[in-house]
Amino acid sequence: MGMGLALLLSACGSTPQQERTDVPQGGTLSGPVVEQRWNLLLVGTDERLSMPETPFFRIGRDGKVNGSDGCNQFTGKVSLGESQRISFSELASTRMACPNMEGAKRVTDMLDNAYRYLIDHDRLVFFGPDSRVLGGWREAN
């Protein structure tokens, strides 16, 4: 458990990138979290999920998100704000039965509950409204 937490938070040891998250006149998002594929690293501070495929998401400049919870494909909307605020909304997904439906639900719950984020190098960490770590993602190359 301690090793997983150290792995997740080791990226937090240096100065995080300040991300520009305001929405310009054209209604497009910008910043390091946008136009990147993010693969799930950990749920909470130390738990790795065993899924049929790696959960991931990608935020477009148009404020739309798409990805996979490891089982089902999903789409929705994202808003970014001051102080690394993030909010996912209108998430909809396919409804395929999978061997690890509980894990898939935990991935989408993480997105639903994300309130703030920290991005540092190739890692992205989501925090809930209570500042609890919800999970971590790694930038896919």
**What tens digit of pLDDT does each residue of 40-50 get?**
999 999 999 98
Residue with tokens 């970014």, as numbered in its chain: 80
pTM over cut 0.85: no
Mean pLDDT of 112-124: 95
pLDDT of residue 5: 39
Cα–Cα dist 76/127, whole Å: 19
Six-digit token string for 57:
């998401």
Q: What are phi and psi of 66, to 5 degrees?
A: -145, 160
Six-digit token string for 24:
């310009």
